[in-house]
Amino acid sequence: MYQQILFAADFSEDALRVGERARDIARKCGAKLSLIHVVEDVNISLGGGYELLPVLPDLPDEALLQESRNALGNLAQRLDITDAGLWVVNALSTKEGIIGAAKDHHIDLIVVGSHGRHGLALLLGSTANAVLHGAPCDVLAVRI
């Protein structure tokens, strides 16, 4: 069974429920649990002509990363897990950040929240979807 589980955490109101699932599975399997949050370093913003333009900023500044580290720590505390790895990484996309970490750390299960796909989300896809297609390991999509 699983030995290295990675919970891909956003800081939405559903993160706690998804995290609980990841935690419970890790406990059942006796697996090590790590939490990751990805700070994307490319943003799409409205350009002058109302076109969607990729904006390539400097790397996220230290304050933003520190804020994410604090939020991830708080989430781990609310989940009552004290021994989890807490990783804040920045990457071109959430998908790349999660998959890169999964490969680097020999993760065998990624746990990610999954919304139903409606409207604009149907067009844009979802993190769960993206992770599913690139993951080197099993992916558990927790319905939220």
Residues that bind a second copy (CB under 8 A): 1, 21, 24-25, 28-29, 114, 116-117, 128-129, 132-143
CA angle 17, 115, 104 (to 5 degrees): 70
Helix axis angle, 62-78 relative to 15-29, nearest 10°?
60
According to DSSP, residue 60 is labeled: P
Are the CB atoms for 38 and 11 separated by under 8 Å?
A: no
Instruction: Give min distance, CB of 88 to a second copy, in A.
Output: 25
Instruction: Give min distance, CB of 91 to a second copy, in A.
Output: 20
Does the CA dihedral 29-109-38-100 come out positive or negative? positive
* Start-to-end CA span in the chain (Å): 25
| Nearer residue to a second copy within complex by CB, 17 or 69 | 17
| Nearer residue to a second copy within complex by CB, 34 or 114 | 114
Instruction: Give min distance, CB of 58 to a second copy, in A.
Output: 33
| Nearer residue to a second copy within complex by CB, 90 or 129 | 129
Instruction: Give min distance, CB of 127 to a second copy, in A.
Output: 11
| Nearer residue to a second copy within complex by CB, 104 or 138 | 138
